[in-house]
């Protein structure tokens, strides 16, 4: 059996020069760290760091039916995007109400005929297949942009340092509100429309931006950011940061068998009108059935206040004596040691009727010896600060 060679992003040589330890991630060769995952994590929490996220899929949408197509495709409603540059986080559901992917869509023009989607690398093929399938009924053109690179600059000092690195961006960056982006191609030399785009979004629970740029400019931009003391950070720090921030990782915290109600994405469901998006009917029906049967699940955070590390796949036991019901169980979908909190944390899916302040149990070593774990509302950390008492 042959194995495919991992793809490389436009930043590959920059990673090697920065001593990045490269690993295979969803078919891409990306740095797990550059020497110290903890230092990279702490740099983002206290100063500024950068992550290569060029493996993400950028798709540009054009056409008279672009808005209508997105309203059919996504569980959240792009009608909420009231101005150019606004971003929307949404699940894209299958016919059964499960999550095919979670993605961000940006409105790119006044006429609501141009949008940009950024979606996950691991789900690229099925995402593009779903895009194309739904597009058959609409006047819309979909263009994948593999020539574009993407880098996230994150941390409390990220924007200030980026302004020092790119003074000509200062006015744009000063005007960017959270979850808003701007095409800055017009202020970059020899750039075509859409080749440079900056958005105040991220996956770390810190302030910062994500920058889309042409692959030809990638390594030069990486070096410029390094010169302004923005620390390269790898996949390891990206995972601990997103977990502290209570953010889902596709294929772990949700997938096509999990509904938005079960993975903390209920807030993304736009259900107040009669818009007929894919998966709506099944989503509502299954939600009602789960409530009536007492099988509804929800997403929570778990905090281990003793020694040990919570890991994905561990069963969560809700003791009968803590609930007025029979003993129930859930599952850890992501688990790690939190560098900020200095203790183990997890994202878990547990029965919906369990209190958000309950004490539950986890078998850490699979030997039937259970330890107590505290249930909390997500996130654990936001903007460098602990979010629970």
Pairing mode of beta strands 328-338, 315-318? antiparallel
Query: What confidence score (pLDDT) does residue 320 get?
Result: 45
Q: Is the pLDDT score of 316 beyond 50?
A: yes
Q: How does pLDDT run across 44-55, given as a tens digit for each residue? A: 999 999 999 999
DSSP readout, 307-373? SS---TT-EEEE-GGGSSSS-EEEEEEEEEEETTTTEEEEEEEEETTS-TT-EEEEETTSSS-EEEE
Q: Is the pLDDT score of 367 beyond 80?
A: no
Q: How does pLDDT run across 323-342, given as a tens digit for each residue? A: 455 568 999 999 999 999 99
H-only helix segments in the chain: 12-17, 37-46, 66-73, 124-135, 158-165, 170-175, 218-227, 235-244, 280-293
Q: How does pLDDT run across 118-134, given as a tens digit for each residue? A: 999 999 999 999 999 99
Query: What confidence score (pLDDT) does residue 368 get?
Result: 76
Q: Is the pLDDT score of 3 beyond 80?
A: no
Query: What confidence score (pLDDT) does residue 326 get?
Result: 58
Q: Is the pLDDT score of 146 beyond 70?
A: yes
Query: Which domains does the chain carry?
Result: 1-293 (3.30.1360.120), 294-386 (2.40.30.110)
Q: Is the pLDDT score of 32 beyond 60?
A: yes
- Round to the nearest angstrom and report the end-to-end CA distance of the chain: 53
Q: Which two tokens stand for residue 129?
A: 């297949």
Q: Which two tokens stand for residue 177?
A: 């509100």
**What's the rounded mean pLDDT across residues 256-280?**
97
Query: What confidence score (pLDDT) does residue 327 get?
Result: 63
Global confidence as pTM = 0.95
Q: How does pLDDT run across 219-250, given as a tens digit for each residue? A: 999 999 999 999 999 999 999 999 999 999 99
Pairing mode of beta strands 231-232, 49-52? parallel
Q: Is the pLDDT score of 361 beyond 90?
A: yes
Query: What confidence score (pLDDT) does residue 1 get?
Result: 46
**What's the rounded mean pLDDT across residues 210-223?**
98
CA distances from 357 to 39, 102, 333, 340 (A): 32, 28, 19, 21
Q: Is the pLDDT score of 31 beyond 80?
A: yes
Residue 257 in contact with residue 94, Cβ under 8 Å?
Answer: no
Residues in Cβ contact with 272 at an 8 Å cutoff, skipping those fewer than 6 apart: none
Q: How does pLDDT run across 62-91, given as a tens digit for each residue? A: 999 999 999 999 999 999 999 999 999 999
Q: Is the pLDDT score of 202 beyond 70?
A: yes
The phi and psi torsions of 153 (rounded to 5 degrees) equal -115, 110
Query: What confidence score (pLDDT) does residue 321 get?
Result: 53
Query: What confidence score (pLDDT) does residue 219 get?
Result: 98
Taking each helix axis from N to C terminus, what angle separates 37-46 and 235-244, rounded to the nearest 10 degrees? Answer: 50
Q: Is the pLDDT score of 374 beyond 80?
A: yes
Q: What is the mean pLDDT of the chain?
A: 95
**What's the rounded mean pLDDT across residues 306-313?**
95
**What's the rounded mean pLDDT across residues 270-289?**
96
Tell me the pLDDT band of 102, cut-offs 50, 70 and 90: very high
Tell me the pLDDT band of 297, cut-offs 50, 70 and 90: very high
């Amino acid at each position: 059996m042959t194995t495919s060679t991992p793809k490389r992003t436009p930043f590959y040589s920059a990673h090697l020069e920065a001593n990045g330890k490269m690993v295979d991630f969803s078919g891409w060769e990306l740095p797990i760290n550059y020497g110290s995952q903890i230092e990279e994590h702490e740099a983002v929490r206290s100063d500024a760091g950068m992550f290569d996220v060029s493996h993400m899929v950028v798709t540009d949408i054009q056409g008279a039916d672009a808005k209508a197509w997105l309203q059919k495709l996504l569980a959240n409603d792009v009608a909420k995007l009231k101005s150019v540059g606004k971003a929307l986080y949404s699940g894209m559901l299958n016919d059964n109400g499960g999550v095919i992917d979670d993605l961000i869509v940006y409105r790119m023009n006044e006429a609501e005929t141009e949008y940009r989607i950024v979606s996950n690398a691991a789900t690229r093929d099925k995402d593009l297949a779903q895009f194309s399938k739904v597009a058959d009924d609409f006047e819309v053109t979909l263009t994948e942009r593999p020539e574009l690179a993407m880098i996230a600059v994150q941390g409390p000092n990220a924007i200030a340092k980026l302004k020092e690195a790119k003074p000509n961006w200062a006015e744009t960056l000063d005007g960017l509100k959270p979850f808003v982006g701007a095409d800055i191609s017009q202020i970059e030399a020899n750039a075509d429309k859409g080749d440079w785009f900056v958005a105040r979004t991220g996956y770390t629970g810190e302030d910062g931006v994500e920058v889309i740029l042409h692959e030809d400019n990638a390594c030069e931009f990486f070096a410029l950011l390094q010169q302004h003391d923005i620390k390269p950070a790898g996949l390891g720090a990206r995972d601990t940061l997103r977990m502290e921030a209570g953010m889902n990782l596709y294929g772990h915290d949700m997938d096509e068998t999990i509904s938005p109600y079960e993975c903390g994405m209920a807030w993304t469901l736009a259900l107040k009108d009669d818009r007929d998006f894919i998966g709506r009917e099944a989503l509502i029906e299954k939600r009602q059935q789960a409530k009536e049967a007492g099988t509804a699940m929800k997403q929570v955070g778990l905090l281990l206040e003793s020694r040990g590390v919570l890991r994905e796949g561990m069963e969560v036991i809700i003791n009968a004596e803590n609930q007025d019901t029979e003993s129930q169980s859930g599952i850890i979908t992501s688990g790690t040691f939190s560098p900020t909190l200095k203790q183990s944390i997890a994202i878990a899916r547990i029965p919906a009727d369990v209190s958000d302040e309950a004490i539950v149990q986890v078998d850490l070593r699979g030997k039937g010896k259970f330890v107590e774990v505290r249930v909390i509302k997500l996130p654990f950390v936001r903007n460098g600060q602990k979010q629970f008492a």
